[in-house]
Structure 1
Amino acid sequence: MQISKLFEQKSPVLSFEVFPPKKESPIETIYQTLDELHDLSPDFISVTYSAGGSGGNHLTCDIASAIKNKYGILPIAHLTCVSADKEQISAELDRLKENGVENILALRGDINPNVPRKYDFAHASDLTAFIKERGGFSVSGACYPEGHYESENLIEDILHLKKKVDAGAEHLISQLFFDNDLFYSFLERARIAGISVPIEAGIMPVVNKKQIERMVSLCGASLPQKFVKMINRYEHNPEALRDAGIAYAVDQIVDLIANGVDGIHLYTMNNPYIARKICESIGALRQTNV
């Protein structure tokens, strides 16, 4: 099934993101995580694209295939192009197709000064167009409620997003954010620009201070004052900060669902406990909106 078709059947859609295990971790760890996430009945699970996995980038395809064939859940495989040429991307697409994975999240990827960059695909919109031209896949894209860090302003950011959708992106997943008002403002800009595809809100439960510092440094998400107070208040009490982070994420999700969001994409960080606590808190909301 194509991811975009899910949004015609139910609202809100609930999805998870997982990532391949790091080199020092055995592959079995991700399947232990998926065993638990499966019980939470997500509508789909995305798998990040990372050369840092114990099996390299092939692991993304292997995990996505297992999500579909072992767990019976719709998978979406991340695919980045910043360090790949058309031949390499074609090989990745062939591998995904052979494994029955038909949904792709097309991304440019972060520029790494230690990895040679290739220029067959300058932007995610170029990768999206290439995949659509080949056919056989449903393509999703990323969006940025506060604007991509390389965009000069929010208007330019929306114009780039519109180009991505015009190239064939059928569904969008947002970067993490901690202020729902920023997401609602972004959503309004997107709809005014004629972007009508489903847009999922990306939510990351923060469970430790180092995690949020690392994520903010990577994506530039702003931190509301009440969020900063929460982090500072509980930073030396790991259990309390974990529970506070879960509660903050639940509060965001409740508000988003009440405002008719298309879907919630939960960045699980491969932590089933946190995903379970959140799903338990919003279970009735999901049933009401089906």
Structure 2
Amino acid sequence: MNNAFEKMLPNFSFEIFPPKRTGSLESVYGTVDALASLHPDLISVTYGAGGSNRDNTIEIASTIQNRYMLPAVAHLTCVGSSLEQTDALLAELKEKGVRTILALRGDRRADADFGDGYFKHAAELVAHIKKNYDFRVLGACYPEKHPEAPSLEADIAHLKEKVDAGVDALITQLFLNNDDFYRFRDLAQKAGINVPIIAGIMPITQASMLDKVVSLCGASVPPAVRRFVDAYGHNAEAIREAGIAYAASQIVDLLASGVEGIHIYSMNKAGVTRQIAQNIHGILYSLRVKKS
């Protein structure tokens, strides 16, 4: 296990995203203010589809790293980017003190002439970063397989290539059934993937989120989730409470199973993330004391 991650596990981290339109970042920094008081091990900043909002990603990650003095992770996609563009972004991140990259292929845009970019797969981007820079590199993985993969086994074989290229740790896409994560983790270990696997959790706090979750990453929906969405989806406060409770129960079970980290997809909803952290505060504290 990579020592840089071993010393901080169980890792408790969050993901935020830049505003969709250019303009003030104050709302994002308000979210960071609220999350920083939870003392996360990492805060990651997403990259828009095809690399949109990349300037905001760099600015926000740099601010988290330098103003808030928290480890920041900048997402970096390779779709649609030339080698020169990628190197320029990496040089800027290095200059601004961001030391960790989440290397992704990224989603292809519908633009007819957008192009695939210099790197075709995340594994190629990882190898380039590790050969030419001194970044810590994270990779993404799908507990229920990437939507484009023919099978989970085939997806894990490609994931092994990415890990072999130099990934230091993996963060899963969201999942709603912990058994899917455990099955994936077992298969990954059997395939020789021995880096930490951090579990990605997204609280379902609005009925509309469920269809988005399924369409974005193909996550299956357990009957328990479908039931609380159907029962409480008409009531904003009720479904928020139910989604927080379900996410907290997922995390409790994952931590009890020895998961190597929890990454909450906050959707910039600091209040939801804070409530989850409060619900499991004693568990997190006891695990961190044990680790130290």
Give the TM-score taking structure 2 as reference length: 0.95
* 1:91-139 deviation per Cα after TM superposition (whole angstroms, max 9, x unaligned): 1101101101110000000111126122421111011111111121111
Give the superposition deviation at 1:27: 1.1
Give the aligned partner of residue 172 of structure 1.
Answer: 170
2:189 aligned partner: 191
How many residue pairs get aligned? The number is: 287
Once residues 11 and 101 of structure 1 are traced to their aligned partners in structure 2, the CA distance between those partners, rounded to angstroms, is 20
1:15 is paired with a residue of what secondary structure? strand
Tell me how far 1:209 sits from its aligned partner. Answer: 1.4
1:46 paired residue number: 44
Q: Displacement, 1:26?
A: 2.5
Q: CA RMSD in A?
A: 1.7
Letter of the 1:283 partner, please give it.
Answer: H
Work out whether residues 50 and 107 of structure 2, in 8 Å CA contact, stay in contact via their aligned partners in 1. Answer: no
Aligned counterpart in structure 2 of residue 88 of structure 1, from 85, 90, 99: 85
Superposed displacement of residue 52, structure 1: 9.5
Instruction: Deviation per CA, 1:235-258: give whole Å up to 9, x if none.
Output: 100110000000000000000000
- 1:215 Cα shift? 2.2
> 2:210 aligns to what?
212
Q: Is residue 72 from structure 1 mapped to residue 49 from structure 2 by the alignment?
A: no
User: After superposition, what is the alpha-carbon deviation per residue over 1:167-197, rounded to whole angstroms, capped at 9, x for unaligned?
Assistant: 0111000000000000000000000011110
Please tell me whether residue 98 in structure 1 is matched to residue 95 in structure 2.
yes
- Deviations along 1:123-159, one digit per CA (max 9) or x if unpaired, are 1101111111112111110000000011111111010
Q: What are the equivalent positions in structure 2 for 1:241-280 lying under 5 Å apart? A: 241-280=239-278
Are 1:129 and 2:127 matched, yes or no?
A: yes
2:201 touches 2:263 (CA, 8 Å); kept in 1? yes
What secondary structure, in the 3-state scheme, does the structure 2 residue paired with 1:42 have? coil
For residue 280 of structure 2, give the secondary structure of its aligned residue in structure 1.
helix
Give the match for residue 160 of structure 1: 158
Unaligned runs of 5+ residues in structure 2 are none
- The letter of the residue matching 2:154 is E
Give the 3 Å change call, closer, same or farther, for CA 25–213 of structure 1 in structure 2: farther
Query: Is the CA contact (8 Å cut-off) linking 1:22 and 1:52 kept in structure 2?
Result: no
In structure 1, C-alpha distance between the alignment counterparts of 2:84 and 2:50, rounded to whole Å: 21
Write the letter of the residue equivalent to 1:23: R
* Residue in structure 2 matched with residue 9 of structure 1 by the alignment: 7
SS in 2 for 1:145: coil
In structure 2, the CA distance between the partners of 1:83 and 1:227, relative to structure 1 (3 Å rule), is same
Q: Secondary structure at the match of 2:138?
A: strand
Instruction: Give CA-to-partner distance per residue, 1:67-111, whole Å, 9 cap, x none.
Output: 111111100100001111111100110110110111000000011
Give 5+ residue unaligned stretches, structure 1: none
Misfit runs of 4+, over 4 Å: none
User: Residue type matched to 1:229 in 2?
Assistant: R
| Contact preservation (8 Å) 1:10, 1:289 | no
Taking the aligned partners of 1:163 and 1:51, their CA distance within structure 2 comes to: 24
Letter of the aligned partner of 1:171 in structure 2? A
Query: Is 1:108 aligned with 2:109?
Result: no
